[in-house]
Homo-oligomer: A and B are copies of this chain.
Amino acid sequence: MTDTLLPAGENAGDDEFEVRCGIPDVIRDDLVQIGGIAGLRARLPPAERIGEISATHHALSDPVRVAILHLLSVQPLCVCVIRECMGISGSKLSYHLNILRENGLIVSEQQGNWMIYRITERGGMFAEAG
């Protein structure tokens, strides 16, 4: 990354890469069209958005959580019913419910002794899609 045929500038490094790299023509031609490496980068969602997207997918990356989401897409449920339905320990269930809630896929509301969980609109979209 020291010698380059191109004038120094904001994207000098990228242009230099494209010049030096002997990648297949089909790819390079299109790449040049869209502005090279810099153009490619510019088409990425901002890092913050990418973080949000991966976080949501992470929330649904465990079969227990996918199952919970589907149960709640049927109707709102208290913890003890979810627990009975899935046959897992209370603390384990609580752990997974937290992750779904933190990611805005479900919400909870206390009702006397019980905690009622229900799916959000956002959560519903993922339950339908899956």
**A contacts, CB < 8 Å to B:** 14, 17, 21, 23-24, 26-27, 30-31, 34, 37, 40-41, 43-45, 47, 50-51, 53-54, 57-63, 65-67, 70-71, 74-78, 80-81, 84-85, 111-112, 114, 116, 129-130
| Other A-B pairs, 15, CB within 8 Å; known A27-B81, A45-B70, A53-B130 | A17-B84, A21-B80, A23-B78, A27-B78, A30-B75, A37-B81, A40-B85, A44-B71, A50-B67, A51-B63, A53-B66, A57-B57, A57-B61, A58-B58, A58-B61
A75 to B24, CA, bound (A): 13
A30 to B72, CA, bound (A): 12
**How many chain copies?**
2
A24 — which chain B residues lie within 8 A by C-beta?
Answer: 78, 111-112, 114, 116
Task: Kindly report which residue of chain B lies nearest to residue A75, judged by CB atoms.
Answer: B30
User: CB-CB < 8 A to A14: which residues of B?
Assistant: 84
With the chains together, A74 CA to B66 CA distance in Å? 30
